[in-house]
Amino acid sequence: MDQKLQMLLDTVRKLIRRGAYPHITKVLAKSHPADIAHLFRYLDLKEQRILFNLLADPEISAYVLSELDHATGAQLLEQIDKETITEVLQEMPYDDAVDIIRNMPEELAEEVLQSMEVEHSEEIEELLKYDEDTAGGIMATEIFSLREEMTVREAIEAVQGAEDIEMVFYLYVTDEYNHLVGVLSLRQLLTVPPTARLKDIMTADVISVRTDIDQEEVAHLVAKYNILAIPVVDEGNKLMGIITVDDVIDVMREEATEDIYKMAGSSDEELLYGYKSFKIARLRLPWLITNLFGGVITGYLMWLFKATLEEVIALISFIPVITGMGGNVGGQSATIVVRGFATGRVDVSTMRQVFLKELRVGVIMGVVCGTTIGLVAFFWHHNPYLGLVVGLAMVTAMSVAATMGVVAPFFFKRVGVDPAIASTPFVQTANDITGILIYFGTATLFLSYLR
């Protein structure tokens, strides 16, 4: 957080504690809307409610809501009166308004939609049809487009007359049926004769996406082609909306956070719950319970080998390190594959290569760690055979773990389970089990030398 924001945050917090509301209103009036929106992220829900109520200008309220996650946004809106809700929502870009309405109680949402001006509510109801995570769900519908038969002079006049299109960088060109047929830049308009027709100067090769494309796919395309906006068309190539790069940034950030959280058995929905401990616990528990039963199975296997263990009690000293290292290496491989899926670096066509690479790397690292732990075992318990057993078990466990870390995500992807969620607990449990089996298996085999 930068210093300016930190100061603003400290001031606002202090004033909220003191209940000095008129003072806060003054501070807010002097702040950039983006800073105010940013501020909300650091406040708890109670503080957010107070501050939101103090925003006098519906335009700023709208801005703040656009920047917050939509569930929080819906919660903040619910506490104010319906007329203001309607007013604020009408100030927002349709795509953001839709996301907030989705998160409202159904009854309130209906009421609000009915009290809106028809032109607004129609647009919003149109957008509500699209799935939240698709191009249709994130596109802005306030598009400025030009007809292909227009002349350059007419186009410039249209640009001059258009309101609220600060962010025009690409001018999309359509035919009489609103089919997307080309694209122009504003600068291009300035460098050609005013009488030229758009269809003769436009670039006919436009990259566009369909409304039902997944938002992650949209982010990939925008990043790949380095474009600032991508037009969205329906199945008949009619221009429906536009997705700008700032929405794409939000998508990318969300998806990265989602993946990171998922791999730790957490969930990005947690953010929505803020400090509600019970709800958060409920989100995380299924993953933990899965791991719990994995741990019980591992424990059961150890129990089966208790005769071996009772004979050579020294074996217990290396249980944590054998299972731990297997888990670590498997976790590394799984992370590389899962993140590779997300960035597009890993897919079915490279599976064999990735598998062989991770196997080689696993063997190399296994030999290094196996030798180290073998020597530790030898010098600690003064038994060269124990060193051998522990070392061998380590090499095998780490090599198996590395390949398991590759196979598991591919398997889960194949059967349609999200590899980011399922891979870590599976890989960890599987490696604990194979680690214990390999370790005690080897030990039982060499039992007469270990005694």
Residues in 212-271 that interact with a second copy by CB under 8 A: 222-228, 245-246, 248-250, 252-253, 256-257, 259-261, 263-266, 270-271
Stretch that binds a second copy, among 80-88, 110-118, 125-133, 293-301 (CB under 8 A): 293-301
* Triad 267, 268, 270: Cα angle to 5°: 80
Q: From its phi and psi, is residue 209 left (phi > 0), alpha (psi between -120 and 50) or beta?
A: beta
* Min separation Cβ 367 and a second copy, Å: 9
* Min separation Cβ 280 and a second copy, Å: 5
Stretch that binds a second copy, among 100-108, 110-118, 165-173, 439-447 (CB under 8 A): 165-173
CA distance 160 to 357: 58
Of residues 174 and 335, the one with the C-beta less far from a second copy: 335
What would the two tokens of residue 28 be? Answer: 């807010």
CA distance 51 to 13: 10
DSSP summary character for residue 318? G
Pairing status of strand 229-233 against strand 170-174: unpaired
Stretch that binds a second copy, among 39-47, 106-114, 409-417, 439-447 (CB under 8 A): 39-47
**Which residues, 372 to 401, sit near a second copy by CB under 8 A?**
372-373, 376
* Min separation Cβ 84 and a second copy, Å: 24
335 is an interface residue for a second copy by CB under 8 A: yes
Q: How many residues are there in the chain?
A: 451
* Min separation Cβ 156 and a second copy, Å: 6
- Determine the residue type at 324: G
- Answer for which of 105, 194, 299, 384 binds a second copy (CB under 8 A) is 299
What strand order describes the sheet that includes 145-147? 145-147, 170-174, 180-185
- Answer for which of 81, 107, 160, 416 binds a second copy (CB under 8 A) is 160
Instruction: Please tell me whether residue 232 adopts helix, strand or coil conformation.
Output: strand
Stretch that binds a second copy, among 81-89, 124-132, 365-373, 406-414 (CB under 8 A): 365-373
Question: Residue 274, Cβ neighbours under 10 Å: how many?
Answer: 16
204 is an interface residue for a second copy by CB under 8 A: no
**Which residues, 410 to 429, sit near a second copy by CB under 8 A?**
428
CA distance 267 to 273: 11
What would the two tokens of residue 105 be? Answer: 């109680």
Of residues 241 and 330, the one with the C-beta less far from a second copy: 330
Instruction: Please tell me whether residue 214 adopts helix, strand or coil conformation.
Output: strand
* Min separation Cβ 206 and a second copy, Å: 13
Find, among 431, 284, 413, 281, the residue nearest to 366 by Cα: 431
177 is an interface residue for a second copy by CB under 8 A: no
Stretch that binds a second copy, among 106-114, 134-142, 145-153, 304-312 (CB under 8 A): 304-312
196 is an interface residue for a second copy by CB under 8 A: no
239 beta partners: 233
